Amino acid sequence: MEDSRHKNLPGRDDNKNLARMYYHLLQNTLSYRWANEATWLWIPDHQSSINWRLLGDCLVSKKHKVMTDLFGIDERSFQNLGLKIIKPTNSCDEPFIQLADYVAGIGAYSYGHFDKYLNWIQTLSGQKSLFVSAINNTVSISGTEKIRFPLINSFLEKSKTCKLRLSFEKTKGFKTNDQRDPINFWLYVPQHSKDKAPTRAS
């Protein structure tokens, strides 16, 4: 919510914005990163604010010209989507939604708390810093950070064991270097000056 697409936009409509970002996620994932002949069943976390039918139409139909104009997407890319079913589900009932929430959450959190994480890793008893960067003086760590920083650290160590090609220090947060890896961290970048989050009608 801090990039040029969102920040300081008066009357921003967060519900419609969520739907558009879902659109970007599916378009990027199914069309560009894992494009193949697979047929996809998408089971997102249930959101009462999302018009799932309209979102599904936008994802699989070339008739929605507004999408190609707004996002600068080639119409032909719609043909690459093998999305057949959208089944919103309560995350309590679906472990894969919980897993997706964890990975998405740890990615976003790593960007928002990168500097404090570096301070925390430096203060660990007997542990050498993973980074060459200069570390600021020790700062107080909240209860949430005491839980989440070890998760970031564990994820970093596991990613090395599994040979996931992730950037962390240079990008100040998790970012996937090779899109063919099974776990992808990427930040949406506004496509052009007109690519703004939607606003509410006054």
List Cβ<8 Å contacts ≥24 apart for 55-63.
55/19, 55/22, 55/23, 55/86, 56/83, 56/86, 58/23, 59/23, 59/26, 59/27, 59/83
Report the pLDDT value the prediction gives residue 9, as an integer from 0 to 100: 76
Report the pLDDT value the prediction gives residue 133, as an integer from 0 to 100: 44
The mean per-residue pLDDT over the stretch 143-156 comes to 94
Its pTM stands at 0.70
pLDDT over 70 at 132, yes or no? no
Two tokens at 165? 């090609």
Domain boundary assignment for the chain: 14-92, 95-176
The mean per-residue pLDDT over the stretch 124-131 comes to 56
Report the pLDDT value the prediction gives residue 109, as an integer from 0 to 100: 93
Report the pLDDT value the prediction gives residue 70, as an integer from 0 to 100: 46
Report the pLDDT value the prediction gives residue 29, as an integer from 0 to 100: 78
pLDDT over 70 at 79, yes or no? no
pLDDT per residue as tens digits for the range 181-195: 888 888 777 777 777
More confident residue, 133 or 82: 82
pLDDT over 90 at 172, yes or no? yes
